[in-house]
Structure 1
Amino acid sequence: MDKTLYNQDYYLWLDTTAQLLKEGKFSDLDVENLLEEIVSLKLQERQAIREHLTIVLSHLLQYKYQSEHRTNNCRLVLFQHRDELDQYLNDSPSLKSFFREVFDECYDTAKRLAAIETDLPRETFPPDTPFKLEQVLDTEYLPE
């Protein structure tokens, strides 16, 4: 396959690559760019886990520590991002270990986001997450 096709017409490159794979014409593949795309997809999946987890943790903190401002929008955001996390983890169970691995790191970011959103000092929030992994994923769980 012409390696310049990747830069000239990405969609056509994808279509051509899929067809070559389907036909078993592996020697005709643009392996360098195909490998780059696969690695990129892996990174995108991991980044999506980080983003959704951080947003869920941030909104759980907001819900818990600013009870006078609880809104349906906050519950909606929690549901949507938990649902996304659930889909990622069900589609790719191997990402569960990554989810556990970045949990504390995402909590640290979530504290900063919650402090900005609520105007509360970051010290308002506990140094370690008050939420269990199961609670974060439970669409029914809301902290009191």
Structure 2
Amino acid sequence: MTTSSKINDQINTELSTLYDRDVHDWLETTIAQLKQGKLQELDAEHLIEELEGLAGRDRREIEQRLKVLIEHLLKRCYVNLPECDRAWEITIINQRSELIGLLEQSPSLKHHFLHVFDRAFQTALRIVQLEYPDTNFPATWQFSQEITVVLNEQFWLS
């Protein structure tokens, strides 16, 4: 083993230990190394783990926000409580705005939006059925699942 590879192994071990002690400090150190082009010194194992975590977080956020959006669309379309309409519409606007922002920042997540739509609908449906047991909700989504429609249409006006 050469001297430089021994040094790199020692640096990588120190970074791995830093990751275990203080993730934020590890992130700052990793960012500095990337900016300085010190790619050989990177703690690649933890860097990959963190990047995978970020990708997963965005997918989970899409699904969670979509579920909340569908819950409130179902409430607004099928529950006859006019005094709640405004609050439901505000939640709809907020969730749509956040979803639009996520999809603009990461257009490749549009595929994930479509992929999880049915699951998000089924979860939202179970929630609203428990919340409003006397309301008859449809067993399937009654509108277009096209992203632009879901994120813009006022279905309750139909």
Normalising by structure 2, report the TM-score.
Answer: 0.83
Cα deviation for residue 135 of structure 1 reads 3.0
Check if 1:115 corresponds to 2:137: no
Matches of 2:107 and 2:36, distance apart in 1: 30
State how 1:126-137 maps to structure 2 within 5 Å: 126-132=138-144, 133=146, 134-137=148-151
Matches of 1:81 and 1:118, distance apart in 2: 21
Per-residue Cα deviation, 1:30-64 (whole angstroms, up to 9, x for no partner): 10000000000010000000001001111111111
SS in 2 for 1:125: coil
Q: Percent identity?
A: 35
Matches of 2:39 and 2:53, distance apart in 1: 20
Matches of 1:67 and 1:49, distance apart in 2: 28
**What is the aligned partner in structure 2 of residue 83 from structure 1?**
97
**Across the two proteins, how many residue pairs are aligned to each other?**
141
SS in 2 for 1:113: helix
Find 2:57's aligned residue among 33, 38, 44: 44
Cα deviation for residue 113 of structure 1 reads 1.4
**What is the aligned partner in structure 1 of residue 7 from structure 2?**
none
SS in 2 for 1:143: helix
Normalising by structure 1, report the TM-score.
Answer: 0.91
The one-letter amino acid of 2:29's match is: T
**What is the aligned partner in structure 1 of residue 27 from structure 2?**
14
The one-letter amino acid of 1:89's match is: L
Cα deviation for residue 71 of structure 1 reads 2.8
Matches of 1:118 and 1:127, distance apart in 2: 14
Name the structure, 1 or 2, with higher relative contact order (CA <8 Å, separation 6+): 1
- Structure 1, unmatched stretches of 5+, are none
Check if 1:97 corresponds to 2:79: no
CA RMSD after TM alignment = 1.5
Is the 8 Å Cα contact of residues 56 and 136 (structure 1) preserved in structure 2?
A: no
SS in 1 for 2:139: coil
**What is the aligned partner in structure 1 of residue 137 from structure 2?**
125
SS in 1 for 2:49: helix
- Structure 2, unmatched stretches of 5+, are 1-11
**What is the aligned partner in structure 1 of residue 3 from structure 2?**
none
Larger Rg: 2
Matches of 2:78 and 2:90, distance apart in 1: 18
Matches of 2:101 and 2:77, distance apart in 1: 25
